[in-house]
Structure 1
């Protein structure tokens, strides 16, 4: 981003960026301390709880800054004052992997250590004794037992600029749902005063909402596909487990848009023939559960649903006299005993 000084009417004077080296600013003592004490410059809703974090065995590596977001995600923040950032993305990925097992007691311990620094404690107006309570308040939790730290840390890379190799890597990781961001941090000196420009460059803020919506849509579509596959296996699963047997009577227990009330009682039953077919009591013809739903709606409420309506047959039928959908009954066979629904 270019900066200009308005010198006079219709005249702009460009303001050249400087470097941290030219300003005599060091990475850890100056830049890291500035960002540690001003986390809003990094991202909204972050609580920085550690710097130079190294709470692991057999490694001397240290995370520049470590933060939490309000969704209990760890956020690895790596800083470089040099142009193009070196290989900081690879370093940050290693850190994220090493941090995947960190739990809340370790977060609290690290924050207590940070607050043992008098300058940090004074800046935040709290002491190490208050560390756990501030963490709980930030996360909206009452007790430590409620907090489950995510095993997939987020990553924020901060440097004056980023190489093409790095941005290509970050974009590739973003496409694979790794939450990693590049934030440009650029110093300026104007009339003896120092300024710091902080700007997220990957992903672009304008595309962030789009990416969130796209991922949500893809996740929904994937879930629907899984659910559809499970429904299609409902009858075979129940027959194989001998929960259902040929000749058993099935009952229609629901239909969309309140159509069930229009279906006569004797038209709500069908006999199971095999794992794919049933015989409707109303006319003695054979159908799949899905096609029978369509036939019933066409027979008794032809104006309510379009002929192309997509029924999920096992979601509408149950064993006669029961109220549990066949799809849910089949699903219960795949769950552990602790996960089984109440079938009574």
Structure 2
């Protein structure tokens, strides 16, 4: 990472470790609890429902969430590579054990009773309980999240694991690669801290699974797949073009009005892809998080282009489908 230190001069920054910064694993846990969109793609929605949840064997999972497909998501955190290498049990296998314990949760009510209600009670000041109990509010919020994301029938049919650290050892990455190839949904995110004066900056990098969107275009070139360009729930995840590409394509433009799906809140699209709301600039993700009250939101599904009435996801898919058809009709 480089930082501008003077006119037309960049100074290279050296990464530090969380240990050197005096940060504990609990500090990272709290950062991610409040900013889980750091490790979410804009194609995902996620609701944090638990922290330090104890299983029957007294093991504790760091953070627990539900995603827009109804999957239970286990987020396990280690500060630095030394913390991973110094463990008696492999990092990834600890996470697998926790995920297995969550597979026994049979219903949203069960999850709220065992996990979400205690979490709401722990952070009462962050929730508007009113006359509701923690359990009643938890049921309302979780059921709404599942309903809006059309994930009621797929609740906890699968479990996902996200591993987070400032660095990973080769054995962990090798094991996670193998698990991914055998249909275990596990991701590795590297958070590298940099200290600039009194400020700490985190650089996020997704190490596994490796994704790019070239293969998405290749799949669209296949006529047999062109009719089913929407990704099925639980299907292979893709890294798709973002709002900057859509602006470049001209399918949306600066000044277009964006509406939050089913909520009516409006903002004006800016040239940099952010949203202007009441003369305040926000990222689209931050704007939608504030509206829906979730930990992260599927940006392109819940942002509706007012003039066309289509979601940004629909507009993007239609453009890519047209490009694929044109490419097959005129390969040269």
- TM-score with structure 2 length normalisation? 0.56
Q: Which residue number in structure 2 is paired with residue 108 of structure 1?
A: 112
Q: Closer, same or farther in 2 for the Cα pair 1:77/1:39, shift >3 Å?
A: same
Q: Which residue number in structure 1 is paired with residue 50 of structure 2?
A: 50
Q: Residues 1-344 of structure 1 correspond to what in structure 2 (within 5 A)?
A: 3-8=1-6, 11-28=9-26, 30-43=27-40, 44-54=44-54, 56-57=55-56, 59-83=57-81, 85-86=84-85, 87-103=90-106, 104-109=108-113, 110-117=115-122, 120-126=123-129, 128=134, 129-140=136-147, 146-206=152-212, 210=216
What value does the CA root-mean-square deviation take over the aligned residues?
A: 3.1
| Structure 1 gaps, min length 5 | 221-344
Q: Closer, same or farther in 2 for the Cα pair 1:142/1:192, shift >3 Å?
A: closer
Q: Which moved more, 1:153-162 or 1:4-13?
A: 4-13
> Do the aligned partners of 1:48 and 1:66 also contact (CA within 8 Å) in 2?
yes
For residues 161 and 211 of structure 1, the distance between their equivalents in structure 2, rounded to whole angstroms, comes to 32
Q: Closer, same or farther in 2 for the Cα pair 1:98/1:210, shift >3 Å?
A: farther
CA shift, 1:203, in A, is 1.4
Looking at both structures, which has the greater relative contact order when contacts are Cα pairs under 8 Å and sequence separation is at least 6?
Answer: 2
> Do the aligned partners of 1:183 and 1:200 also contact (CA within 8 Å) in 2?
yes
Q: Closer, same or farther in 2 for the Cα pair 1:209/1:51, shift >3 Å?
A: farther
For residues 53 and 4 of structure 1, the distance between their equivalents in structure 2, rounded to whole angstroms, comes to 39
CA shift, 1:121, in A, is 3.4
> Do the aligned partners of 2:70 and 2:157 also contact (CA within 8 Å) in 1?
no
Point out 4+ residue stretches in structure 1 off by more than 4 angstroms: 124-127, 141-144, 207-214
**Secondary structure at 1:23's aligned position in 2?**
coil
Structure number with greater Rg is 1
Cα deviation digits, residues 111-131 of structure 1 (max 9, x gap): 1100112xx333355572421
> Do the aligned partners of 1:68 and 1:75 also contact (CA within 8 Å) in 2?
yes
CA shift, 1:24, in A, is 1.7
CA shift, 1:150, in A, is 2.4
Task: Count matched residues.
Answer: 209
**Secondary structure at 2:104's aligned position in 1?**
coil
> Do the aligned partners of 1:63 and 1:77 also contact (CA within 8 Å) in 2?
yes
